């Protein structure tokens, strides 16, 4: 029976004969009951079902620990829960500290071993103190000041914590002082969040089960009959009037851009009555994907003599046969993204096999695609420089200020802020990046939106300790995002993935300028790196499984060197492939420093290579200023600008993956990648570049 209050899911005890177990469902942990074993349903709000005494319940690290649901003790001053709609879960815990040395502590149970970034969500106010967090007696991070003139809720990055083994740990918040303006030493704790550092966030591979978008069979004894809606796919080669051939087509999902393997799975519904013996079925490639299951007949059938992939003995009804089709599907992935198969029997085999079609629900043919998932790590990088400048004090430097001001108003009141992050710790492909900025204060101009523009800043060489309005870096870079920074304490998260990937591959630094729209006249101050726990942070997710295929942003393409005639560029396969037709030259914004170790990997597929098919880099929109391209195919020789590989790609030879040690041809700082499909003579080039990767060889 529950000895806590009826209906309570916060604290209490459970009695089983002579055993009494304290429970705290809100913490996400289980009672340490070994005997008897009991079935328990309902850990906190998660309502998991576990059998205690048989397993331990670990709190999900994706969920913050709620202070109000943890076991808490203090040094004697007392604590209370405060209802607040702005708090996570609607409540936060107030510790009524009144002097230095007072502490409140929380017991977190069953923490898995690992290295964690520790975050605390709190509420700052005018009566709060400064605390130092320790875990099992060891300080984590630097002291955090919870004082602010106005009330604000937000999350603070404390520091890193390493646990050598699975354990429980005591998180103690000890008062170390208070701001001179604070009226008291109180502390507030809303949540404690642990984020694994350097942990894998994705599995090595994942699978897609793709159903056919078309399948049918044809029968020579019914040469004008269509069987597109039949639940069967029949295969047989016998005397005239008894032959059947089956066809299947699959569309590869656009999110699949790289393949680790592929299997065709076919369910045998039944077999013919021709007696014992092997029932050989040939699975063959079908080059043409433009057939219609609702109209195809024996008289209009597609060819069935494509390249043999595999032969199987499909003699057991009720069995699923799996055929490795990896190479063929990989080829089609680099091509049009559609893959077709034809099922036939060797001549005169005379052993009918009936497979289930896509209309036979639950037994449909399946194309199982295994795709590599690039393992990744997430790192939080604190700004190495941040400051602002003001036109009213044009020779004053504000590099050590506790705050970055932004405003666009009349002369004398303008402020522009700058932030820079080092990317030297980024040694692999950037998968995502988020800029996090916390609003520290706002002006008194009244209610309404306070727009701040986050812009790219190409110049990384500015000095926060010397920059003034008169010596400021440009603030007119490409706009990334505009935010509404009207709420004090709010942390704004801006997706800067493409820009950070570009800069990580270039000079290893990334800078941002923070501006306001012209005459917006709404003052905003962001926290700076001098304010522990509230610093500007760049959260970067990087791959640890090698370079991933480039995903292109359509708006970052432009004409290259004014060389295009008629033609077009088409992006495909989830913006990972580029098709050039006619006579077309394109460049793509991609700043990169090409070193002696730089490699380009690209899959090329062309029916017509024209005079010049090329890939490379450029820094000035002029292909004639030096060697910065590699010729992959074509009849024209411009070796001083386009270094030819050997052997050249041959038109019509299908997809070929080419690994180019580009750094052995040229080096230098570039601004764009280039893709050339030159064909002045008849403007008939047709080439596709796909699965493009740029990386440094080890």
Residue 411 is part of a domain; what is its CATH number? 2.60.120
Give the range of the structural domain holding residue 523, as residue numbers without chain letter: 378-543
What is the distance between the alpha carbons of residues 144 and 178, in angstroms, rounded to a whole number?
A: 10
For the chain, give the number of residues.
698
Residue pair 95/77 in contact (Cβ under 8 Å)? The answer is: yes
Residue 524 maps to a domain: yes
The answer on 355 and 245 residing in a single domain is: yes
The answer on 467 and 391 residing in a single domain is: yes
What is the pTM for the complete model shown? 0.41
pLDDT at 614: 96
What is the distance between the alpha carbons of residues 513 and 251, in angstroms, rounded to a whole number?
A: 44
pLDDT at 660: 87
CB atoms within 10 A of CB 390: 18
The CATH number of the domain holding residue 168 is 2.60.120.260
pLDDT at 440: 96
The CATH number of the domain holding residue 362 is 2.60.120.1200
Chain centroid to CA 64: how far?
Answer: 22
Residue 424 maps to a domain: yes
Q: If DSSP codes are grouped into helix, strand and coil, which group holds residue 330?
A: helix
Residue pair 93/122 in contact (Cβ under 8 Å)? The answer is: no
- Please give the structure tokens belonging to residue 374: 């690039």
Peptide bond into 164 cis (omega under 30): no
The answer on 117 and 24 residing in a single domain is: no
pLDDT at 242: 95
Look at residues 228, 230, 280, 270 and name the one whose alpha carbon lies nearest to residue 249.
228
Residue 407 maps to a domain: yes
Chain centroid to CA 482: how far?
Answer: 22
Look at residues 252, 287, 254 and name the one whose alpha carbon lies nearest to residue 571.
254
The answer on 242 and 156 residing in a single domain is: no
The answer on 226 and 302 residing in a single domain is: yes
The answer on 537 and 623 residing in a single domain is: no
The answer on 384 and 361 residing in a single domain is: no
Residue pair 452/524 in contact (Cβ under 8 Å)? The answer is: yes
DSSP 8-state assignment for residue 177: E
pLDDT at 5: 34
What is the distance between the alpha carbons of residues 525 and 441, in angstroms, rounded to a whole number?
A: 5
Residue 359 maps to a domain: yes
- Please give the structure tokens belonging to residue 173: 């918040």
Mean pLDDT by 10-residue block, N- to C-terminus, for the chain (698 residues)?
A: 33 38 34 31 30 33 75 94 89 96 90 81 95 95 93 88 84 96 96 65 69 97 97 96 97 86 96 93 96 97 95 96 94 91 96 97 94 74 96 96 95 96 78 93 94 95 96 95 96 92 83 96 96 91 65 90 92 87 94 85 93 94 91 88 84 87 86 95 94 78
The answer on 504 and 395 residing in a single domain is: yes
The answer on 463 and 324 residing in a single domain is: no
pLDDT at 263: 96
Q: Which of 350, 372, 394 lies at the terminal end of a domain, its last residue?
A: 372
Residue 59 maps to a domain: no
pLDDT at 25: 35
Residue 201 maps to a domain: no
CB atoms within 10 A of CB 18: 5
DSSP 8-state assignment for residue 547: P
Look at residues 512, 516, 484, 482 and name the one whose alpha carbon lies nearest to residue 410.
516
Look at residues 247, 341, 335, 238 and name the one whose alpha carbon lies nearest to residue 298.
247
What is the distance between the alpha carbons of residues 502 and 593, in angstroms, rounded to a whole number?
A: 10
Residue 2 maps to a domain: no
The CATH number of the domain holding residue 610 is 2.60.120.200
Q: Which of 372, 391, 426 lies at the terminal end of a domain, its last residue?
A: 372
The answer on 179 and 115 residing in a single domain is: yes
Look at residues 209, 200, 206 and name the one whose alpha carbon lies nearest to residue 258.
206
The domain total for the chain is: 5
Q: Which of 196, 220, 239 lies at the terminal end of a domain, its last residue?
A: 196
pLDDT at 698: 53
Where does residue 302 rank: exposed (0-12), middle (13-18), buried (19+ CB within 10 A)? middle
The answer on 407 and 264 residing in a single domain is: no
The answer on 16 and 83 residing in a single domain is: no
Residue 318 maps to a domain: yes
């Amino acid at each position: 029976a529950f000895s806590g209050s009826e209906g309570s899911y916060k604290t209490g005890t459970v009695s089983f004969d002579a055993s009494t177990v304290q429970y705290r469902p809100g913490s996400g942990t289980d009672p340490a009951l070994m005997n008897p074993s009991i079935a328990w349903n309902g850990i906190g709000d998660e309502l998991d079902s576990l059998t205690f005494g048989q397993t331990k319940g670990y709190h999900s690290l994706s969920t913050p620990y709620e202070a109000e649901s943890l076991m808490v003790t203090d040094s004697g001053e007392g604590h209370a829960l405060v209802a607040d709609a702005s708090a996570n879960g609607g409540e936060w815990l107030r510790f009524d500290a009144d002097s230095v040395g007072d502490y409140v502590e929380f017991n977190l149970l069953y923490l898995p071993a690992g290295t964690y970034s520790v975050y605390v969500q709190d509420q700052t106010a005018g009566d709060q103190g400064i605390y130092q967090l320790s875990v099992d007696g060891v300080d984590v991070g630097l002291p955090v000041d919870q004082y602010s003139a106005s009330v604000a809720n937000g999350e603070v990055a404390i520091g890193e914590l390493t646990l050598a083994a699975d354990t429980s740990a005591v998180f103690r918040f000890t008062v170390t002082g208070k701001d001179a303006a604070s009226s008291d030493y109180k502390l507030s704790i809303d949540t404690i969040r642990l984020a694994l550092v350097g942990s894998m966030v994705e599995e090595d591979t994942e699978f897609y089960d793709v159903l056919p978008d078309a399948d049918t069979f044809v029968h020579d004894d019914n040469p004008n009959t269509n069987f597109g809606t039949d639940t069967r796919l029949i295969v047989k080669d016998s005397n005239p009037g008894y032959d059947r051939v089956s066809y299947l087509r699959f569309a590869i999902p656009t999110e699949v851009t790289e393949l680790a393997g592929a299997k065709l799975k076919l369910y045998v519904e039944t077999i013919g009555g021709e007696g014992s013996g092997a029932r050989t079925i040939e699975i063959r490639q079908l080059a043409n994907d433009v057939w219609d299951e609702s109209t195809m007949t024996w008289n209009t059938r597609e060819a069935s003599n494509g390249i043999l992939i595999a032969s199987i003995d499909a003699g057991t009804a009720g069995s699923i046969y799996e055929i490795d089709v990896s190479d063929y599907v990989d080829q089609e992935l680099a091509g049009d993204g559609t893959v077709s198969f034809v099922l036939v029997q060797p001549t005169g085999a005379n052993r009918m096999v009936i497979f289930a079609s896509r209309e036979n629900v639950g037994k449909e043919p399946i194309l199982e695609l295994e795709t590599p998932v690039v393992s990744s790590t997430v790192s939080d990088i604190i700004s190495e420089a941040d400051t602002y400048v003001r036109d009213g004090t044009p020779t004053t430097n504000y590099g050590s200020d506790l705050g970055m001001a932004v405003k666009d108003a009349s002369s004398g009141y303008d402020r522009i802020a700058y932030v820079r992050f080092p990317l030297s710790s980024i040694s692999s492909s950037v998968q995502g990046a988020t800029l996090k900025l916390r609003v520290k204060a706002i002006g008194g101009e009244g209610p309404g939106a306070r727009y701040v523009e986050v812009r790219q800043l190409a110049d990384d060489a500015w000095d926060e300790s010397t920059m003034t309005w008169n010596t400021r870096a440009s603030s007119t870079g490409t706009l990334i995002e505009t935010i509404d920074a009207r709420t004090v304490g709010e942390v704004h998260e801006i997706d800067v993935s493409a820009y950070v990937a570009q800069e990580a591959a270039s000079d290893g630094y990334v800078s941002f300028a923070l501006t306001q729209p012209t005459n917006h006249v709404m003052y905003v101050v962001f926290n700076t790196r001098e304010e522990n726990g509230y610093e500007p942070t760049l959260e970067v997710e990087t791959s640890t499984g090698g370079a991933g295929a480039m995903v292109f942003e359509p708006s970052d393409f432009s004409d290259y060197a004014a060389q295009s005639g008629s033609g077009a560029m088409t992006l495909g396969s989830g913006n990972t492939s580029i098709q050039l037709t006619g006579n077309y030259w394109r460049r793509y914004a991609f700043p990169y420093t090409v070193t002696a170790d730089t490699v380009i990997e690209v899959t090329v597929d062309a029916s017509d290579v024209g005079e010049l098919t090329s890939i490379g880099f450029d820094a000035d929109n002029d292909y004639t200023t030096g060697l910065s391209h590699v010729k992959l195919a074509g009849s024209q020789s411009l070796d001083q600008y386009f270094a030819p590989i050997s052997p050249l790609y041959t038109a019509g030879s299908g997809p070929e993956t080419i690994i180019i040690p580009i750094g052995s041809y040229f080096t230098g700082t570039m601004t764009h990648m280039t893709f050339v499909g030159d064909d002045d003579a008849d403007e008939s080039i047709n080439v596709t570049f796909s699965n493009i990767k740029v990386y440094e060889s080890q």
